[in-house]
Amino acid sequence: MLCPGCKKREAKVKLSCMPRALCPECFCRNIERRIRKQLRLDGGLSKHDTLVVVDDGSYEARVAKHVLEGLRKDFPFELKIVKRVTYTNLKGAKLVSLDNLEHTAVKLIKQVILPPEPNTATDTGFAPLSSVHPQEIALFVKFKRLGGEQKIRLDKVEQRILEGLNRLEAKYPQIKFSIVNFFRNLEKSK
């Protein structure tokens, strides 16, 4: 089958969370486009911004670093890649959240069940990977040869929620996208 994106190459990339198969090039372009779009939805960047990515060796950190470095070629802003968050490297800067779509869905559900935790001082609202499924992130890392590894970022309660969500996902492959979209639309209509 020909890729519906470019109509040139074979559409050999298909994940259960993806609505349609794509070729590897269009798949990667689609992921980058969605990450850039999420950055705009999260408030956008200005050239005076300094963004901080904590490279903890995770897939998410590698993808955020790769896409933001690419973005800097078109649009100048400061980008700091650090090993850990300290007061000095966060001063006057915005920390990039490494939450992917799955983390975001889990945390949104948790807020319904448990009273929300107060926002931490480092929460800047920038979560560019929050609309990208972890399966997509893992494949993007492979195609772009970014290295890194899968890391668990969820606490015990969040992991229980994820287990339930994964059972639902086996039946409804797009459910994590639907949940995040549902909460975001709800937030907008407030």
Does 26 sit near Zn ion (CB under 5 A)? yes
Angle at 146 between CA 47 and CA 167, to 5 degrees: 100
Q: Is residue 134 a contact residue for Zn ion (CB under 5 A)?
A: no
In whole angstroms, the minimum distance from the beta carbon of 63 to Zn ion comes to 20
For Zn ion, which stretch binds (CB under 5 A), given 9-17, 90-98, 114-122, 164-172?
9-17
Q: Does 3 bind Zn ion (CB under 5 A)?
A: yes
As measured in angstroms, the least distance from the Cβ of 29 to Zn ion is 8
Helix axes 134-144, 59-74, angle to 10 degrees: 70
Q: What residues have CB less than 8 Å from 87, skipping those under 6 apart?
A: none
Q: How far is the CB of 47 from Zn ion (least distance, A)?
A: 33
What own/partner pairs with CB < 8 Å and gap ≥ 24 does 168-175 have?
169/17, 173/16, 173/17, 174/17, 174/19
For residue 55, give both structure tokens: 């490279």
Residue closer to Zn ion, measured from CB, 9 or 144: 9
Please, what is the Cα angle at 134 between 42 and 148, to 5 degrees?
A: 100
Distance in Å, CB of 4 to Zn ion, minimum: 8
Contact status: 23 vs Zn ion (CB under 5 A): yes
Give me the residues that bind Zn ion (CB under 5 A), please: 3, 5-6, 9, 23, 26
